[in-house]
Structure 1
């Protein structure tokens, strides 16, 4: 038996300001720190063998707060850009409402919520999936198969890619799935490596 814990980083400054963030390195807010503490409290009784995060500070900071709250600062941490948020290209830093005024609501909605439409200079969710899943299969699955419990702290779209893969969701189904900030999603892997979602 192994467990995989997925946590989306706490609220970032640009989440608060309703901006496209993507690969821009923006830290979490005080609210984000509180969300990370709540995630740490929710996971406090769990055994964690190793943690993975992106190279963006909002995910790293969230992970550090979680581990501090769990009193597990000595856990090995692997950082990799494969787990970074989806890139929004030239939209990064722009206010979402202002962008909708400029390009039209429908266009912005299709950039944000379609599976394979690419924002200017950025990545689609499909591109993000094709970056995250090979990394997951190569680096994280072998550890789960060894029975290790793994914590992944990342971003809305990199985690959405993992949820899509683990739950065998269609592109339409995953677009309806919101990943809340700071609330752990837990998957249990049995001896046959079948995956079961567990509410936390």
Structure 2
């Protein structure tokens, strides 16, 4: 039996400011750092021995993995960074305050952009300061101008299949430190959720979600380590 730990990055500065972050490389707040360390402490308390780590190429996820591993006493564990584990690209909403955007476009429209499975926000404008085409992390890649959860999943799945799944065939314990929507994509794949079911799945920041997997990657148990900050999970 293998174990998968999904860890959403701790609170970022733009989480605190209630802004659409997406691919913008925003760092953790002091609270986010504390959440990451607490996640590592919970991993240590359960004596979960991590084999390897996967994370995105965004600072808030990378530092969350580092802080959690250090707190767990496992800073030496090898780590792979992959852009395909980045947060969902919020297109033209990137950088905007969520409450202000709701006032401008209407709460119902913003809810569709945020929570629907296959309706993306408007494209990132050509003159946006959040155009990542010149960032060397993405050199040579065809980058999205916006993403829905569906297209985020389409991006995550090749990384999941080729990089992460091969480590889940035995008794390994794998940590994936990433983002709300890239982790929701993995949850949808693991639990075979419908488009309607995944809409209601919300992963809290800095709270390790431990999923035990039987042969064929079938989940047999799933739990958050910080029960006080847990959210509803799919039925195993």
TM over 0.5: yes
Provide the rounded CA distance (Å) in 2 between the counterparts of 1:89 and 1:191.
Answer: 38
Aligned to 2:209: 185
Find the residue that maps to 1:43 and give its secondary structure: helix
Structure 2 alignment gaps of length 5 or more: 124-145, 226-236
Distance apart, 1:113 and its partner CA: 0.6
Aligned to 2:25: 25
Aligned to 2:92: 90
Aligned mate of 2:188, from 160, 164, 169? 164
Q: Could you list the runs of 4 or more consecutive aligned residues of structure 1 that deviate by over 6 angstroms after TM superposition?
A: none
Distance apart, 1:126 and its partner CA: 0.1
Q: 1:171 to 1:191 in 2, by over 3 A?
A: closer
Aligned to 2:7: 7
Provide the rounded CA distance (Å) in 2 between the counterparts of 1:117 and 1:41.
Answer: 38
Aligned mate of 1:110, from 109, 112, 116? 112
Provide the rounded CA distance (Å) in 2 between the counterparts of 1:183 and 1:176.
Answer: 17
Q: Deviations over 1:49-89 (max 9, x none)?
A: 10000000000011110011011111110000000000001
Structure 1 alignment gaps of length 5 or more: none
Mapping 1:63-142, distance limit 5 Å: 63-121=65-123, 122-142=146-166
Find the residue that maps to 2:193 and give its secondary structure: coil
User: What root-mean-square deviation, in Å, do the aligned CA atoms of Structure 1 and Structure 2 show?
Assistant: 1.1
Distance apart, 1:91 and its partner CA: 0.9
The normalised TM-score by structure 2 is 0.82
Q: 1:193 to 1:85 in 2, by over 3 A?
A: closer
Provide the rounded CA distance (Å) in 2 between the counterparts of 1:112 and 1:195.
Answer: 27
Find the residue that maps to 1:117 and give its secondary structure: coil
Aligned to 1:176: 200
Q: Deviations over 1:142-161 (max 9, x none)?
A: 11114321100000000000
